[in-house]
Structure 1
Amino acid sequence: MNQRACAEGSHGQANEGVGLSVLSPRELEVDSHLALVPCNALIGAHMGLAESTVTSYLAPAARKLVTTNRFDAVLRARHSGLIA
């Protein structure tokens, strides 16, 4: 995600259907930070991970959540009870 998108957030439309039960514990942990931290670099700094590592967890989680943006990923994970 580029710096401008990180600052502004991304918005889009998600597809229906959610594969929540297949998220790994680490994908859930990284996804839970999306609600609090606006971009991958800051999530990585908070978790002690490289930005590319954060991305490597978020990309498959987004596919499993059947979403195309951060906002919907957080909403779907919250709605399902996976994150607070």
Structure 2
Amino acid sequence: MPIELPRQTRADAIASLQRYFEENLPEPIGDLPAGMLLDYILQEIGPLVYNQAISDAQARLSSVVTDLTGDLYEKPFAYWPTIESKRKRR
């Protein structure tokens, strides 16, 4: 599944690449080369970042789901022991 950016996000990414080139490299980069570089990054490297994010989300969700029983468990038939405990305190 290719990673596609909304028009404004793409324009902002191209502007960011151009700024990076201006501040860190000896030659500036134009709109077309910056767009081509962005396309390359999205196609070649983007899936690595995307897959890692999915893996991280799966691990987090798995740990949350695993702990559901411990976090949300309610002891059944707890009314009478609770009432009896309160009566003994009086």
Q: Bigger radius of gyration, 1 or 2?
A: 2
Verify same fold: TM over 0.5. Answer: no
Query: TM-score, normalised on structure 1?
Result: 0.27
Higher helix share: 2
